Structure 1
Amino acid sequence: MSQATDPTPPRKPGRPPSEEARRLALATAYRILIEEGLGRLTIERVAAESGVSKPTIYRTWTNAQDLAMAAFMAHPASDEPASRANSVQAGLRAHLRGVIATFATPRGRQITLTMASADPDSELAKAFRNQVILKSREAGRQLIERGMSLHEIQSGIDIDVALDMIYGPLFFRLLVGHRPLSLQLAEQLVETLFNGVASAQDALG
């Protein structure tokens, strides 16, 4: 499947949904996804069971697949929040461990198998690209930029290349399945990256 940097679809016009409405929609979608699977999740059902109107849901998510992927990624299996890490390196490690742990769940493995056979132009593939790949990369981008500002990472590196180095092996293993997708991979990816991009100041420290 192509990992081209499709832009995340722009928010549709209208009043943005409240955080409570977004939380309810995601929680309801996640419950349906985990209990019954991707095929049973529809916008109509999420609206009926969450009390959030269909127009409100559609202002944030394009379709049921988009909502399903957003709900899945909003409930990471890892309990290591990257935002609480005391260094950028630790934050990136926690972030990658969260992504890996999420896909190591039974439902995550099922989604992976579905994705492996999906048409790259299908709505499911687009949802996976937008809600999983691109949003994960954006989280990584913010961490790398923070690392530059704190002089943990060299300034002036090509951030997109660094992100490809991090997420390429992860999603390649996820979709191709040639090697295990283990939590140890998060450690290896971060160590390899920081061996190459750590700032001189950080290396000396």
Structure 2
Amino acid sequence: MDERQEKQTGAGRPRSRKALEAVMTATLNLLKTTSYNQLTMERIAKEAGVGKPTLYRWWSGVPFIVMEALMLQAESEIGSPDTGQLISDVHQYLKQTFRSLTEGTGETVRSLMAEAQLNPDFAGVFRETFISSRRQTLIRILERGVQRGELPQNADLELIADLCYGPMWYRLLNRHAALDETFAASLVSYLFDSDGR
């Protein structure tokens, strides 16, 4: 967690690893049966077996807890594939990201994005931590492609990341088409396979 996030979450002293894991696990478990809008600090504290003051000492509110739980889950479930080939790495990354959104976290991520539009305090942290962390994972994959000569040294990696994430967010928010493996493969082919353009 960076300094800005520490300030936003109200963390004033080192967090107990055991309590932190309990809160993260409780939050993810609740999200399996409870919508984001029904989550409260009370419910999370009770499910985690910790006191509400503990939550408020570490986080400013429910969206901050949910965001951190989803970040940890993404790091565990998606990671940063390294097959030795750029196209394969990006395909794996997108496929795993789409699967996570489709099979579990999509509705909650949509809710956090809506929260960010209405809550300026949360919006900055959401952008600089959750969004940034996923973008940086993809950019590291792209950087490996540059190092292997699969992309030019002057490739605009931020733009490539936007071209990967833009269609994903569009489909996630509008729900007009599937986020599936076929879409991941088509997107990667369009972006990186010159013969497919």
CA contact (8 A) 1:17 1:59 kept: no
Q: Higher helix proportion, which one?
A: 2
Aligned length: 188
Helix, strand or coil: the match of 2:131?
Answer: helix
What is the alpha-carbon distance in structure 2 between the residues aligned to residue 44 and residue 16 of structure 1?
22
What is the alpha-carbon distance in structure 2 between the residues aligned to residue 85 and residue 52 of structure 1?
41
Alignment of 1:88-167 (within 5 A): 88-105=86-103, 108=105, 110-111=107-108, 114=111, 120-122=117-119, 126=123, 129=127, 132-167=130-165
Deviation at 1:182, TM superposition (A): 1.9
TM-score, length basis structure 2: 0.71
What is the alpha-carbon distance in structure 2 between the residues aligned to residue 110 and residue 120 of structure 1?
16
1:92-117: per-residue Cα shift (whole Å, max 9, x none)?
22221122112212x54544665787
Query: For 2:188, which of 186, 190, 193 is the aligned residue?
Result: 190
TM-score, length basis structure 1: 0.69
Helix, strand or coil: the match of 2:6?
Answer: coil
Amino acid at match of 1:121: L
Deviation at 1:189, TM superposition (A): 1.9
Q: Which residue is equivalent to 1:178?
A: 176
Query: For 2:24, which of 23, 26, 31 is the aligned residue?
Result: 26
CA contact (8 A) 2:83 2:89 kept: yes
What is the alpha-carbon distance in structure 2 between the residues aligned to residue 55 and residue 149 of structure 1?
48
Task: Quickly say closer, same or farther: Cα 1:73–1:11, change in 2 above 3 A.
Answer: closer
Task: Quickly say closer, same or farther: Cα 1:128–1:172, change in 2 above 3 A.
Answer: farther
Task: Quickly say closer, same or farther: Cα 1:47–1:165, change in 2 above 3 A.
Answer: same
CA RMSD across the alignment: 3.6
Amino acid at match of 1:27: T
Alignment of 1:29-68 (within 5 A): 29-51=27-49, 57=55, 61-68=59-66
Task: Quickly say closer, same or farther: Cα 1:50–1:166, change in 2 above 3 A.
Answer: same
Task: Quickly say closer, same or farther: Cα 1:44–1:142, change in 2 above 3 A.
Answer: farther
Percent identity reads 26
